Structure 1
């Protein structure tokens, strides 16, 4: 029996729901008992939860036992250990029950026709033991012990409603018990996995180390604990390669070995083959099993145990960590033999790379011929960069010459980065430093290292690395050197050190030749155009940037890469050809997805989101940024993730969604360096929120601080994008020098482009700074409205209508103001921007007009999906019914319905039904 006392509980990461269920069971035990089954894979935290229950149950008598595989053939052995502390209470049972219980627990069998009597005896004994104080009985791993104990406890657990007794059972993931509530312990998410690691490491390791270990742990708490225990100081500092699997001799490894030991030998043999053959093709496993002297059907016991799922298209592992632990737990000789078997049967399939990988895993020592085979089979890497990188790592290990080893390590690092594995790429580059001192090799390696710093590390230092590396390779590979300069320029702009871009421009100019192929010319034009833009020389910038856009649209064959398309899209954004920039970025996104190049996908999505912002497609831009954020986080690109969060914060702020904007800003945290792009985007978002709340001075100060004009420091390009908001804030202030200077920069850029939108924004800004009520302001507002494109930028046109209406109303021209305010209100309603529509409504009322909900048909106000949901609500359908009919989640229906209410200006389902009934009646009347 366990003596319970309330102590400080160890934190259980990611198990809030399960712990709440256990607490509810224990807190309600005095009013009537119950039972709970916790089931999950080994290491998922079942035993930890039981331990917490023991410590929490301070007012209970606690009986505790665990199922033991060694006693699984001994009937009632587990029950004997559980009940031994209270057996003296058995004297209170009826004689027949007392005798039967004593005989069963003494090792005598219980006849089948007496099972009910025995089960009632156990129930009576627990009731007697709970007479003085409530009782908690726990059986950990109930499925590992003898089945008779499990049957009796299940019987008892279903009959506790009127007794102060709680039963807590734990079992494997595949086990359920009829009539007992169950909670399955799911894998931890990334955040909780990182928290488990931090709890157990001597000091907080590098973020990249935490991310890599969280992935390796597969969300299994015990795997994470085992990994943390075997890490060396150099590993958790990120200086040495990290384990690729939890240790085989750790607690989780021992648990899986015990689980595997219970399977027949043939099952274990085929299970190892299935674990090592990650492609999972059924034909491969069938032939490999035959070569091993058995057959694939031997997997049946493993399937019953929940380790695998055998399906017509192959064998899958419901928990990915199971595959890892099966391979890690097998002796080295068995693993190598299994790899050789798989390599042998893959000859006929023509899977050259997979066969070579299996042969490499079965080989000890150098094998130059196999290394060459691996290198050739992995060439290109498109579609599966991670596998290709692993193949090149094997090839480097098997190489017989240092030069080949270095070349293969460098290629492996490039492939790892392309596949979104920056930590693997860094470690390979670190190893390369030891292997090779060749300046050319080191220069190429540093170009890759600089790109990793730009996307995933300290971007301010990336430019130095990239500039130095570009110089090192310029003599042997001008194209590579030029690509390094493009990256260096991007790093300079990201960090807010634009005054240094001139150096990039000079170096790029020295590398260019008249006979350069299109890709090199494109990169050269981009650098030249951006350099000219940053020094205000738009006459030179425009032609160079437009040439880059044209070249990007003409790329074909091997020259057509996501990186080249990104360069062309960036050029298009700087020269304000938004449609072309969007098409190029969209093409880059599609090609990066097709090729599996996660390293460039996030940047392509960033460019597409900016293009969508300028095109007025704010919802599309937000969705693109959310996609980019997911990609950036999955591939360890923390700087790209911060840019996407900043863009999401700006887009939410522009739509007056304060909570969402601030949530994204909190996610950015304090990591961005002042002056960097994420920092500037965060300042822009906060300034827009200030502007909406009427804090004009604060908004103007924030926006003016984004860049220090004339010095080349700060985010000049972000400030240019935000200039319309800076001017709008400054229009309410007496002194406007910062806004005037920023508008001068914006004007020079806008006038050099062919963009009607930029010129419309320029005219609007001048109208805002003109004397109030004068002809100049009205003329500039009219110019802005004339220039606003009809096919794009609807939001900005609506903002101009609103601002013009405000100007006319405050100039005592309410009748003229109402025309523009009605236009603004209608457009904002169509866009679903409730805050701005309400502002227009407020202005209309101030202009002397009584207004209600927008007088627009629902078909114009709502999207197709929103309209269908609204129609079903009007018909009386519940959200759950709508979700089932439209194959959506109820959460999605809730989200769309809130937007419907906002757009239609109504507050309830009843109002919605009435509005649709009125609209149908009007439609029928007009038809007549």
Structure 2
């Protein structure tokens, strides 16, 4: 299977299948290793009904006119007898090496065309020439001429060439780089392939997902690079236990191909090209190191290896830079690094200069190690670069203790930059040789955080608690940070009973004069610990203090970690607006500083805040963003939380397919009792509730936590309590719902949140005796408490449930008032399933109800309205995306919501609806 080449394979099949009704040609061009030769092989396998003539361009014969043509047509030269005498003589002369006069090239080209036509009389003919641009140019010219004149003949021509080659008049495909998923598939395909059984014996295990991701990056989307990497990986690298290669092997198939290209360049071009490849900045430093001789790169530019621009030298394909550096002799690389270091003195680029010197070093150099450490401090040049610099510093150190400390910092920087696998490998290097207990404990804190985000959260909490206790005597702030992470781990894993130990350790570290960032961590832990034991009188003040302190953070103290702590405190104490602002700020700071390790967590908190604020679409978009970040940085636990949140949001909209799809994406990773597992259960329960399966919904929600034991997802169950009560209201026995509501009430009454209190009142109304005054009083109280600026969906749910209650009490006129409100709000929110329920209730209350009579301008958001207008005018989704500077996927998503909200099923209906509303003036003409 040729991964990522579906379009090209389809075109090749079409070219061959249609050959009997008229010939054609196709050009495939791309980088070495991109799959051109594989596609030629695919064509040969598909051409079972054809005679095949196959050739390839050889650089060794590039100076021999028509050498490639001679090898290609030699099998059918006996058909030359059918050619006119003049053409036959000229063809034989050219193929014998006597060349062809310039004024006779047309005749020669017609002779080749006639020869191929004669060879195809009995059976269709497929002609392939791989690497046509590498061989002699005369052959390429003749084949291009022939390829443009095949329509009357049963002949198909398939040519391949490099990226700079072009043949006018025939269709061409540029082979793109493979995606990460396609690259991973190539790697696993190669391992399973019987073509190289020794690889399967050497690498018998399925590779770690993180290894596939990292190799996809190293391979640069080049299929041959990926195959070459598999050939040199050790079992430890395949399992993720050893560092992976930084580049495909220089002696692999791809490396040899690039070396052959480079060998054809002048020596001075190769020298300057190596400088450009080693200079990541690609600017003035390289130009000075080259002595201003950038003109020497002209042959490399013609060959498509580089692009020389006024601001510097760039590589159109990043893999080219990698292969040039990997294939150069060590002595040449060191010399180039020294030149670049000397050229960067005047630029003030201290870190880049030091790294070039480190790459040129041949032994320990404590002075250079110190310079690398100082220049990399704080990751100003990027966390990945800073991590690499600290690795160099560790290698250049003559003191094992300093080397260990620098490796630890390198691991911390790698994690900050979203490279957990690199961080874990550096910690693995550090731990066996490190004898300093303080460094080992700090390494355990970092490893615990990696496990929390990317591995076994239950194991992470124990490691973090032990490591925090070990460093408490030397670094109290670091110990507090570790306890915050330990608290996250016990909550994620559903072991809330262990939070008491987190709170006990944090209490011993608290000081009254702590700065805001430290004080808010202490307050968060104290507040959450009190909340989980039901002591809301102590929890509320501590959590509010954390929120206030978070709002005061400025400058370097306003880290993504500190702001996220404050946001988490805000969510627990139900100050949703403040929590959203803090989480949004945490995400912005994380992006600005490149701290990808914290970005997904900040987005998780922001999505939860948006859920409580009733901004469900915004919450879904935030979770999708968080999911992308989590997957890109290997944070499987964070990814599953975002998937769980997306499942809940889809279920709230009664979108069964989307809900189940998100849950399937989690796979088997979430363990029972974990937060993602609980979110999935909540989502499935909401679907059960929407379908009237009340007992199933109640059972699912009751199982989220075991009240009184501290086990399970207590905080998720509190969020889901309104759904649990609604399901239980239809059942004869309700002890679990009553107990859960008591927990919810104690929390809600300790907050200043009108929404939480409104939900509490609604729950009491649902559990009140049917037909009595208590239910109506509680529903009325809930509607008074519902905020007007947030939670529109929850208010609509209350209106619907109150309307149902009144209708069942045979008060249809009163019921219709609330049911109309619910139906209109659900319609405006685009929640069709709930709007249908309100419609059903209205009909049961004696009202004849048709489609919503609201104009599109009220039903749609501003962006949705603009997309709908463009589609109604006939624009495709791709055209809408281009005009509105959106992705096609975003347009698809909004258009589905437009159809849902307007109750239509096609673009034709959309155009008709807009034409009608413009006619009556409901939508203004633009």
TM-score normalised by length of structure 2: 0.95
Q: Does 1:242 align with 2:244?
A: yes
Aligned counterpart, 1:154: 144
1:215, 1:885 → 2: CA distance? 32
1:468, 1:60 → 2: CA distance? 72
Aligned counterpart, 1:845: 843
Q: Does 1:448 align with 2:443?
A: no
Aligned counterpart, 1:7: none
Aligned counterpart, 2:363: 365
Deviation at residue 461 of structure 1 after TM alignment: 0.8
Aligned counterpart, 2:79: 89
Q: 1:277 aligns with which of 279, 291, 295?
A: 279
1:600, 1:357 → 2: CA distance? 27
Aligned counterpart, 1:3: none
Deviation at residue 879 of structure 1 after TM alignment: 6.2
Aligned counterpart, 1:218: 220
Residue 857 of structure 2 contacts residue 922 of structure 2 at CA under 8 Å; is this kept in 1?
Answer: no
Distance change (3 Å), C-alpha of 1:249 and 1:525: same
Residue deviations 1:25-63, cap 9 Å, x none? 222222222221111111111111211221222222111
Q: 2:834 aligns with which of 828, 833, 836?
A: 836
Residue 524 of structure 2 contacts residue 566 of structure 2 at CA under 8 Å; is this kept in 1?
Answer: yes
Residue 550 of structure 2 contacts residue 562 of structure 2 at CA under 8 Å; is this kept in 1?
Answer: yes
Distance change (3 Å), C-alpha of 1:383 and 1:808: farther
1:75, 1:921 → 2: CA distance? 72
Aligned counterpart, 2:288: 287
Three-state SS of the structure 2 residue aligned to 1:107 is helix
Residue 220 of structure 2 contacts residue 319 of structure 2 at CA under 8 Å; is this kept in 1?
Answer: yes
Q: 2:121 aligns with which of 122, 131, 149?
A: 131
Q: Does 1:315 align with 2:313?
A: yes
Give the 5 Å matches for 1:126-205.
Answer: 126-199=116-189, 200=191, 201-205=203-207
Aligned counterpart, 1:795: 793
Deviation at residue 620 of structure 1 after TM alignment: 0.9
Q: Does 1:649 align with 2:647?
A: yes
1:468, 1:924 → 2: CA distance? 66
Residue 383 of structure 1 contacts residue 594 of structure 1 at CA under 8 Å; is this kept in 2?
Answer: no
Residue 917 of structure 2 contacts residue 923 of structure 2 at CA under 8 Å; is this kept in 1?
Answer: no
Give the 5 Å matches for 1:123-522.
Answer: 123-199=113-189, 200=191, 201-281=203-283, 283-290=284-291, 295-382=293-380, 384-522=382-520
1:462, 1:380 → 2: CA distance? 26
Residue deviations 1:354-404, cap 9 Å, x none? 111111111110111111111111111145111111111111111111111
Residue 383 of structure 1 contacts residue 595 of structure 1 at CA under 8 Å; is this kept in 2?
Answer: no
1:208, 1:875 → 2: CA distance? 46
Deviation at residue 897 of structure 1 after TM alignment: 4.2
Distance change (3 Å), C-alpha of 1:358 and 1:629: same
Deviation at residue 891 of structure 1 after TM alignment: 6.3
- Stretches of structure 2 that go unaligned for 5 or more consecutive residues are 192-202
Distance change (3 Å), C-alpha of 1:892 and 1:776: same
Q: Does 1:67 align with 2:57?
A: yes
- Stretches of structure 1 that go unaligned for 5 or more consecutive residues are 1-10
Deviation at residue 904 of structure 1 after TM alignment: 3.1
Give the 5 Å matches for 1:728-807.
Answer: 728-807=726-805
Distance change (3 Å), C-alpha of 1:819 and 1:383: farther
Q: 2:25 aligns with which of 35, 43, 50?
A: 35
2:556, 2:923 → 1: CA distance? 63
Q: 1:900 aligns with which of 898, 901, 905?
A: 898
* Segment drifting more, 465-474 vs 198-207: 198-207
Aligned counterpart, 1:110: 100
Q: Does 1:98 align with 2:88?
A: yes
RMSD (CA atoms): 2.0
Aligned counterpart, 1:552: 550
Residue 857 of structure 2 contacts residue 923 of structure 2 at CA under 8 Å; is this kept in 1?
Answer: no
* Segment drifting more, 588-597 vs 683-692: 683-692
* Segment drifting more, 466-475 vs 505-514: 505-514
Deviation at residue 560 of structure 1 after TM alignment: 2.1
* Count of aligned positions: 912
* Segment drifting more, 641-650 vs 841-850: 841-850
Deviation at residue 419 of structure 1 after TM alignment: 0.7
Q: Does 1:659 align with 2:634?
A: no
Distance change (3 Å), C-alpha of 1:897 and 1:645: closer
2:591, 2:7 → 1: CA distance? 37
Residue 578 of structure 1 contacts residue 615 of structure 1 at CA under 8 Å; is this kept in 2?
Answer: yes
Residue 731 of structure 1 contacts residue 769 of structure 1 at CA under 8 Å; is this kept in 2?
Answer: yes
* Segment drifting more, 729-738 vs 891-900: 891-900
Three-state SS of the structure 2 residue aligned to 1:348 is helix
* Segment drifting more, 535-544 vs 764-773: 764-773
Residue deviations 1:857-893, cap 9 Å, x none? 4332222233334445566767676566545566655
Aligned counterpart, 1:561: 559
Q: Does 1:52 align with 2:27?
A: no
Residue 382 of structure 1 contacts residue 596 of structure 1 at CA under 8 Å; is this kept in 2?
Answer: no
Deviation at residue 916 of structure 1 after TM alignment: 4.7
Deviation at residue 697 of structure 1 after TM alignment: 2.1
Three-state SS of the structure 2 residue aligned to 1:38 is strand
2:482, 2:876 → 1: CA distance? 58
Residue deviations 1:185-213, cap 9 Å, x none? 11111112112222324321222222211
Residue deviations 1:545-597, cap 9 Å, x none? 11111111122343321111111111111111111111111111111111111
Aligned counterpart, 1:6: none
Residue 405 of structure 1 contacts residue 435 of structure 1 at CA under 8 Å; is this kept in 2?
Answer: no
2:34, 2:882 → 1: CA distance? 33
Give the 5 Å matches for 1:535-614.
Answer: 535-614=533-612
1:638, 1:520 → 2: CA distance? 28
Aligned counterpart, 2:860: 862
Residue deviations 1:647-677, cap 9 Å, x none? 1111111112222222222211111111111
Aligned counterpart, 2:617: 619
2:16, 2:56 → 1: CA distance? 19
2:662, 2:285 → 1: CA distance? 47
2:294, 2:219 → 1: CA distance? 29
1:190, 1:634 → 2: CA distance? 10
2:905, 2:238 → 1: CA distance? 54
Q: 2:4 aligns with which of 14, 17, 31?
A: 14
Three-state SS of the structure 2 residue aligned to 1:735 is coil
2:853, 2:3 → 1: CA distance? 52
Distance change (3 Å), C-alpha of 1:376 and 1:874: closer
Deviation at residue 163 of structure 1 after TM alignment: 2.2
Deviation at residue 504 of structure 1 after TM alignment: 1.1
Aligned counterpart, 1:4: none
Deviation at residue 519 of structure 1 after TM alignment: 2.4
Distance change (3 Å), C-alpha of 1:62 and 1:916: closer
Residue deviations 1:890-924, cap 9 Å, x none? 66555544433433334555655565555556559
Deviation at residue 507 of structure 1 after TM alignment: 1.4
Residue 525 of structure 1 contacts residue 548 of structure 1 at CA under 8 Å; is this kept in 2?
Answer: yes
Distance change (3 Å), C-alpha of 1:490 and 1:49: same
TM-score normalised by length of structure 1: 0.95
Distance change (3 Å), C-alpha of 1:726 and 1:862: same
Aligned counterpart, 1:8: none
Three-state SS of the structure 2 residue aligned to 1:106 is helix
